[in-house]
Amino acid sequence: MYIIYYVLLVLVFTIEYVSTVEETLLKMSKEERMSLREESRQMFYHAYDAYMDNAYPADELMPLTCKGRWRGVTPNRGDLDDVLGNFSLTLVDSLDTLVVMGDFQEFSRAIKLVISDVTFDHDIIVSVFETNIRMLGGLLSAHVLATALKNDVPALQWYKGELLAMAEDLGRRLLPAFNTSTGIPHGRVNLRNGIKGLSESRETCTACAGTMVLEMAALSRLTGQPIFEQKAHKAMDRLWTIRHRSSDLMGSVLNIHNGDWVRKDSSVGAGIDSYYEYCLKAYILLGDEKYLVRFNRHYNAVMKYISRGPIMLAVHMHRPHLQSRNFMDALLAFWPGLQVMLGDVRPAVETHEMLYQVMQRHTFIPEAFTSDFQVHWGQHPLRPEFLESTYFLHRATGDEHYLQVGKMVLKALQQHTRVPCGYAAVNDVRTRVQEDRMDSFVLAETFKYLYMLFGEDKDLPVNLEEYVLTTEAHFLPLSLATDGLSAPYLNLKFDDDEDKYKKVCPSTSSLVTQHLREPMRQMLGSTAARPPARLLPLNDPRQIDALSNMGISVLTLPDGRVQLLYTTNTASPPRDAAEGLTFMREMSKWSTLSDMENGVVAAGIKINDKIFPAGPAQFGREITGSDRYVGTPVTVDPIDACSDITNAKEVAGKFALVGRGQCTFAEKARHIQNAGATFAIVLDNVKDSSHETSTLFAMSGDGKDDIDIPAVFLYSQEGLYLTQALRENPALSVTIGELHSMKQEYENACDNDNCEPVTNAKTQPGDKESLNHLRKVLSKLVVQFELSVANEEPSLKSYIENSQDLHVPRDKIVNEDACDQNVSTASKDVKEESEKNEFGDF
């Protein structure tokens, strides 16, 4: 007992000492902060001057070739070019950044250039969404700031509202996009001809349709023309009516003519992100409480179904307990900033910390990344969303950690993206190869947020408390809530069921963000990228639903592994949260079981005269007993089999060889099956891996029962032996079966050394994937756990029993504040690697 108290005392002292050291290291002097602010200013002008000197009046600068990017002149980039309208996009988008920098002379000169040089009378099809947030928002923001400052700034006293007239002209050119039966706007519009020739346009994204109301309402209230706001309100109202009524979630793509959902995956990232943002900001800017009611409904749904602690993974809007994809995109980085605006800072800190860990691992946040932080899409176009959230978190908490985060971003930009002619996007964060691209948002947002992060509010020429920042970081005044407001806006009706939802602004006065970041770092540390696990397959929807009721979500990772995440506030009913906690505790114990105890039936592949162990699959035909599959391997094209097989004629009737990665094992198997192959052999993409150094695992399924062919997994060394043998003999025939029986048949022996990862198939229960069997196994583990607790010290037993929210490490249980939303994670697989995650990943 005294030894335990001594250890705890030493542990407390260590924690206090480490915390003090961290706080000292995080402290940033005023001189360093001002130096970083000045460096941010210089970065902006390096990019701005490069654009003005080498690209203006083109829309964008191409920083590697040091030329302007024109629509219809420079090589077409497909949908990326929908932002271009030959209307000096970068200059208009960055006008208000000049104000933030306090450069009124250049701001005045830039306004005059826009007035004299920019026109919208072009036969060019542009994105309605991008033109609204960048061009219309930029014009309105510059007009608002010029008007507010003109009496105090001599350089602006000449201004007489010319930008507002241009904004109205542009707004009227966007109005034809709203001419649909639903009121949901087209995704594109011709600046000269409206929607003429766009009859084939049928789909748009939720964010594209739902990110219009701030700019359009501001235009109406500044000009006195209500049509713009009316159109935007109608679009928002229609989007609200087509939400999924049970989950309150939104899909990502819809049909503009009938309102049907085309893509039903729901997230807070690309395709939906700024719709949620504008629901909240429409309330803040316009004072219309229906938008707060709607946002609260959406927010509760997001936190219930999409949020898995710090991780935000897309789900099916109509089946929100099922994950729809296994990666996150960089655009979700705005979400912590929006949570700060709402007042829900605790989860904002956690998700921001997750993103910070991703950034530390890859230097930049890639366009898409998996829940174990592997790169899914490697591009990084110098996006501002992470800096935006960093700025708002620092402003809300005063925690200097966020200054250090901003410093790291700044130094990465300087080291890897600065070129003589501006700043170049990163084509792949893994290689840091640059791309000849500098989007207008780099000047409009990225450098603006950097500068404001290191500066102080009192140094800015405008009072930030009087403005709302749009999704493009443009300034719109809060005075619009009453200015220019006419009767039609006062009579907007609430939905019948909305009045029972009340607005809440949680108190954050006692929040210490460091106490939240540390557990996140433990959970998301360097070992979190390879979380193995120990459990039977969970591809039965009944099992997924049962786990969901316990607050446990089943997430499929890109490499076929499955991750379990536990969140107390998603359990329904609440008493099931205790069962979920017990489940996660027993997962910790289960992770120590051997493969024999876990029941992994390894496969074997006979190549020439050698038999190699191979990992089985949790989908397709099961390989058992005396089953033998004989065939000739053929390499598929594409090698990852993540799309249709192009050499299907060669593959038909053969064993398909594919590489690991890029998509799930099940997706590969489907494409192989569609090509007519009779067997799938997946080769590892980790160099020099072998069954001798890595434990065999079973490839996970995705819950669908549409794969009939069997499949096995080979590590790299065994795969290399197979491909070399195939090169020597293209007609090579291999035999695949259950390893135990193949050893007995071909080697007349199966000692423990050779068959360690094997369990005799006869010992496997017939319903091993059933919910009843899973619960039976778990009930035995629960008994073991309760017996072990009963033998503990009384104080320790009471400590465990009274814990309300717990994280579950591999070998200990750590109590957190009872008010925390805590998350435990476990990965479900039969793979056990040498490195273990220190925070609940097995």
Active site residues: 130, 273, 367, 385
Q: What is the 3-state secondary structure (H, E, C) of 159-207?
A: CCCHHHHHHHHHHHHHHHHHCCCCCCCCCEEECCCECCCCCCCCEEEHH
- For 243, residues 6+ apart whose C-beta sits below 8 A from its C-beta are 249, 250, 298, 317
**The two three-digit tokens of residue 786, written as one number:** 């309760």
Give dist(CA 124, CA 121) in Å, integer: 9
**The two three-digit tokens of residue 234, written as one number:** 């109608």
**The two three-digit tokens of residue 155, written as one number:** 């350089």
Strand partners, 657: 635, 681
Amino acid at 4: I
Which parts of 536-678 are beta strand (E)? 552-556, 562-567, 603-607, 610-614, 628-631, 633-635, 655-659
Asked if 833 contacts 530 with a C-beta cutoff of 8 angstroms, the reply is yes
**The two three-digit tokens of residue 752, written as one number:** 């423990």
Give dist(CA 674, CA 298) in Å, integer: 39
> How many C-beta atoms surround the C-beta of residue 763 within 10 A?
9
Q: Phi and psi at residue 427, in whole multiples of 5°? A: -75, -30
Dihedral sign of CA atoms 372, 375, 377, 380 in order? positive
DSSP track, 523-564: HTSGGGGS----------HHHHHHHHHTTEEEEE-TTS-EEE
Asked if 96 contacts 142 with a C-beta cutoff of 8 angstroms, the reply is yes
Torsion angle of alpha carbons 98, 87, 202, 237, nearest 10°? 40
Q: How far is CA 171 from the centre of its chain?
A: 32
Give dist(CA 442, CA 371) in Å, integer: 27
Q: For 738-842, where are the alpha helices, taking DSSP H only?
A: 739-747, 771-790, 794-801
**The two three-digit tokens of residue 505, written as one number:** 């602004």
Q: Phi and psi at residue 133, in whole multiples of 5°? A: -75, -30
Give dist(CA 702, CA 544) in Å, integer: 11
Asked if 352 contacts 359 with a C-beta cutoff of 8 angstroms, the reply is no
**The two three-digit tokens of residue 775, written as one number:** 């619960």
Asked if 170 contacts 224 with a C-beta cutoff of 8 angstroms, the reply is no
Q: Phi and psi at residue 125, in whole multiples of 5°? A: -90, 125
Please state the residue numbers annotated as binding site for Ca(2+). Answer: 471
Alpha-carbon distances, residue 587 vs 149, 562, 597, 798 (angstroms): 62, 13, 14, 22
- Of 424, 432, 425, the closest CA to residue 66 belongs to 424
Q: Tokens 């009930």 sit at which residue?
A: 779
